[in-house]
Structure 1
Amino acid sequence: MERMLCFATNNAYKLEEVQAALSGSGTFVLRTLREIGCTDELPETTGTIPGNSRQKARYVFDHFNVACFADDTGLEVEALDGEPGVDSAYYAGEPRDNTRNRALLLANLAEHTNRRAQFRSVFTLVEPGPNGEPIEHQFEGIVMGVIIDVERGDGGFGYDPLFVPDGYEQTFAEMPLAEKNKISHRARALAKLVAYLGQE
């Protein structure tokens, strides 16, 4: 029996990645925020990646009464003590600008030889319990890699043109989406979510 779930994001690139990863699963029907009538800007004010993920999923569940999942993702760079982390999307300030974010990252890394970094995604699933109360589950995915000095590739989004995952020579932005979805932080967290849904 198919179940309806909302993916609580306004990010078209994330939606594309998740739809590709879920293609052919057959266990549930994915709905977007627009499809459930949500045009609200989802809150992200907790200061942590897991907290923001939970906050967005709970907002949709509480206001639209639909089972949903949300993710929050950050790039965590060793030499910068985990920056940009939870602030990855707005690293260079408002408004959100991926080009300025990448430029600031490279500037802050200019004096560092350690280029180790990780992408970290946390998905939070909120669904109704036996009495309608919210039940929450979180699923984490991490991929390790390095930050390069010059952007490469036209695909992906965010910091993808600067991130080369361990074991590969291409940046995320140079990889076909299908290849990225095999190894990405988001794909790894999503695989745990899908496995959980399949056990219910």
Structure 2
Amino acid sequence: MKKIILATGNPGKVRELNAMLKGHYSVVSQKDLQVREVPETGSSFIENALIKARNASLQTKLPALADDSGLEVEALNGEPGIYSARYAGEGATDEENVAKLLLNMEHHNNRQAYFCCAMVFVRDAEDLNPIIVERRWKGELLREPIGTNGFGYDPIFYLQDYSCSSAQLKPDVKNKISHRGLALNDLLGELLSIE
């Protein structure tokens, strides 16, 4: 089984991606190999995912998988977007980010939001043809958090088709229908077709 490095320090993402990749790849987190993180200086989810994947591959000499994802809210012109993890400031907790978003949405009736995920696979740090996929997941913002599964904005992301927040979904269900699950499924399809 081929070994790849997951270029993320986010334990929630590591958990989700590890579960989804089981059986296909032997996965190691960049944290386990003491990979030094680099600033996410890109202006898009794709650029940030490429930065993370190339950095992890450069430091470990392993193929790397990275994603950059976040929440885009229509009423806020796409905020928090690429700043989702640090919306309430550098080092902010999930709860602080959610609280800031709910405060900013207080006077908005349009609650449409999208989780967006750009996922990148590089064979090495200099890979000229990385595999890049992007997927979106449509939902609506709740006015208060509900549910304890998942992480980030999951407790306020309401799914009409399931009549619950994404934090109320069982992990195996979420992994099949979420932005990250769909992106990883697309990426795996591409990976398996070139091997």
Partner residue, 2:174: 180
Separation in 2, partners of 1:51, 1:161: 27
Structure 2-normalised TM-score?
A: 0.93
Structure-1 separation of matches of 2:23 and 2:4 = 15
Residues 18-37 of structure 1 aligned to structure 2 (within 5 Å): 18-25=17-24, 28-35=25-32, 37=33
The answer as to whether partners of 1:69 and 1:126 remain within 8 angstroms in 2 is yes
Deviations 1:109-136 (A, max 9, x none): 11110000000001111114xxx94131
Structure 1 vs Structure 2 CA RMSD: 1.5
Alignment CA distance shift 1:41-1:112 (3 Å): same
How many angstroms apart in 1 are the aligned matches of 2:55 and 2:48? 11
Shift in alpha-carbon separation, 1:39–1:68, aligned structure 2, 3 A: closer
Residue 124 of structure 2 is aligned to residue 155 of structure 1: no
| CA–CA separation in structure 2 for the residues paired with 1:58 and 1:72 | 13
C-alpha contact (below 8 Å) 1:42/1:56 kept by paired residues? yes
Contact 1:17 1:181 survives alignment (8 Å): yes
Q: Report the Cα distance in structure 1 between the residues aligned to 2:43 and 2:160, rounded to whole angstroms.
A: 28
The TM-score, its normalising length taken from structure 1, stands at 0.91
Deviation at 1:42, TM superposition (A): 3.2
Alpha-carbon distance in structure 2 between the residues aligned to 1:163 and 1:73: 14
1:94 CA drift (Å): 2.1
Aligned to 1:11: 10
Q: Contact (CA 8 Å) 1:143, 1:165: kept in 2 or not?
A: no
* Residue in structure 2 matched with residue 83 of structure 1 by the alignment: 79
| Consecutive unaligned residues in structure 1, runs of 5 or more | none
User: Number of matched residues?
Assistant: 193
Indicate which of 162, 165, 173 corresponds to 2:159: 165
More helix by share: 2
Aligned letter for 1:153?
G
Instruction: Give SS of 1:121's match.
Output: strand
- Which of 65, 68, 73 is equivalent to 2:64? 68
Secondary structure at 1:72 match in 2: strand
- Tell me the alpha carbon deviations over residues 55-81 of structure 1, each in whole angstroms, 9 at most, x when there is no partner: 000111223221101000010000000
Q: Quick check: 1:144–1:166 contact (8 Å CA) kept in 2?
A: no
Give distance in 2, aligned partners of 1:60 and 1:163. 30
CA-CA distance at 1:147 after TM superposition: 0.2
Residue 191 (structure 1) shift:
0.4
Give aligned-pair identity as a percent. 37
Q: Distance between the aligned counterparts of 1:114 and 1:120, measured in 2? A: 18
Whole-Å separation in 2 of the counterparts to 1:190 and 1:70 = 10
CA distance in 1, matches of 2:121, 2:39: 16
